[in-house]
Chain A
Amino acid sequence: MLKNIQEWTLLLTVFGVVTLIGNWIGYDIFSFDAILGMIVLIVISLLGFITQKLVPINIPSVAYIAIYGVLISMPWTPGSEVIVAWTSEIQLLALTTPILAYAGIAIGRSWTDFMKLGWRTIVVASFVLLGTVLGSALIAEVVLRMQGII
């Protein structure tokens, strides 16, 4: 467990450094607050991984991480303004760029398998995504209108 926490911390730090540099180049944000914001995100992630290991129920760690993030930043939590100020220095898109860079490198390995699957997969996949987006958006539209939110 301790060895795991050490590895997670190191990897999250590597990822955090790459993100902070991307955040600087792409979004012109380079501040001490951004570094503090990244540390907050790393600590939240670590707590999520640890909780997943400790709780015997099989729930993915990302579920805990997102909930911790919400709990620490909701208006009812004392000091949440500071957390929000620090973490808002990290752009969402600055995090997704390195994720997809690593994903591209990982996907290269199964590229030939994918190419063998043929064009039908691409057609069906397009309609799968279209179906879920349109289905969800239509229901959301009706309910949000009934509630008077939009």
Chain B
Amino acid sequence: MEQAEVRDVWKDWRLHVTVLLIVIGAELVGSHEFAVGPGVVILLPMLYAIIIGIMLYFTPVISEKQSEKSEPLIVLGVALLLAKIGVIIGPDLPEIIAAGPALLLQELGNVGTVLIALPIAMLLGLRRETVGMTHSVAREPNVGLIMDKFGFSSPEGRGVMAMYIFGTVFGAIFMGLLAGLLATITPIHPLSFAMASGIGSASMMAAASGSLISLFPEMEGQIAAYAGASNLLSLSTGLYVSIFIALPLTEKLYKWFSKKKHKDEVT
């Protein structure tokens, strides 16, 4: 966390009161769910909160400065969230240790991203951006990795930044809907999805596991524990999976697809 950013942010009571009003409004509306085909869409107060927040930025209520001051509070809020996840995991630790092998191995599932998303990005006509976009779910460590390897103004850098912004804006909404939908329409067990929802982003994990908990309240403790533990593992191991497995695989697939594409164009 940048020290300069944190200075005197707490004094901006107008910002905090605005957020408090957003929270009160969002919590009063409460969570709602409705069926979409065979799946369930769940709208949580946090989804209203982010939408109201974005909209308020375009009104005189929120200034550009206040928007900047919000960033350290996200970091601190996520810190409290991870402390809470920690104390959720703690009592279930014996159970998590029993599930250890599954937790570790499912981290490799993140390469599923490359296999599914890369061909689609190539078909859409994206070029080197593809490598930045599809090598991972583009959370902070992955952005750092791509910047380090290719530079900020490279096509790869643009790709990873686009994904990072998308993930930050829509990741929670998307993961919440996706987890609920997949858990209801596929035969895969909710606990497998609980593990899969920990992809290294606390807000996405919270949205995905929140949807799962609303659908399967009897498994609340286990879902929160698996999702939290998997998120913890993703946070710590995700970068290394990217460096040693996902990024080299992305490069190989990219070369293979662009050669194939080139040949098709020539003939």
Report B123-143 CB contacts with A as 1/0, cut-off 8 Å: 011100010011011101000
Determine the main DSSP class of A at the interface with B: helix
Contact across chains for A45 and B80 when beta carbons are under 8 A apart: yes
Q: Known: A70-B90, A73-B87, A125-B166. Is A22-B24 also a contact (CB below 8 A)?
A: yes
Which residues in window 157-173 of B have CB below 8 A to A?
162-163, 165-172
List of A residues within 8 angstroms of B113 by Cβ: 127-129, 131-132, 135
List of A residues within 8 angstroms of B77 by Cβ: 15, 95, 98-99, 102
Closest to A109 in B: B67
List of B residues within 8 angstroms of A103 by Cβ: 50, 53, 70, 74, 168, 203
Contact across chains for A97 and B45 when beta carbons are under 8 A apart: yes
Give bound CA distance, A13 to B10, whole Å: 9
Contact across chains for A95 and B81 when beta carbons are under 8 A apart: yes
Number of interface residues of A (CB under 8 A): 96
List of B residues within 8 angstroms of A27 by Cβ: 27
Number of A-B residue pairs with CB-CB distance less than 8 Å in the complex they form: 425
Give bound CA distance, A106 to B203, whole Å: 15
Question: Of B71, B99, B107, B168, which is within 8 A of A149 by CB?
Answer: B99
Contact across chains for B7 and A104 when beta carbons are under 8 A apart: no
Question: Of A19, A21, A69, A132, which is within 8 A of B196 by CB?
Answer: A132
The range of chain B's interface size is 35 or more
Report A89-115 CB contacts with B as 1/0, cut-off 8 Å: 010111111111111111111110110
Report B187-200 CB contacts with A as 1/0, cut-off 8 Å: 01101110111010
List of B residues within 8 angstroms of A19 by Cβ: 23, 80
Contact across chains for A129 and B137 when beta carbons are under 8 A apart: yes
Within the complex, the shortest CB–CB distance from B221 to chain A, in Å, comes to 10
Closest to A16 in B: B80
Contact across chains for A124 and B120 when beta carbons are under 8 A apart: yes
List of A residues within 8 angstroms of B125 by Cβ: 120
Contact across chains for A100 and B47 when beta carbons are under 8 A apart: yes
Give bound CA distance, A127 to B121, whole Å: 9
Contact across chains for B70 and A105 when beta carbons are under 8 A apart: yes
Give bound CA distance, A104 to B20, whole Å: 13
Q: A19-B80, A69-B85, A124-B124 known; 5 other A-B pairs, CB under 8 Å?
A: A96-B207, A99-B74, A99-B202, A105-B19, A133-B179
Residues of B participating in the A interface, judged by any CB pair closer than 8 Å: 1, 3, 6-7, 9-10, 15-16, 18-20, 22-24, 26-28, 30-31, 44-47, 49-58, 62, 64, 66-68, 70-74, 76-91, 93-94, 98-99, 101-103, 105-117, 120-121, 124-126, 130, 133-134, 136-138, 140, 162-163, 165-172, 174-175, 178-179, 182, 188-189, 191-193, 195-197, 199, 202-203, 206-208, 210, 224, 228, 230, 232, 235-236
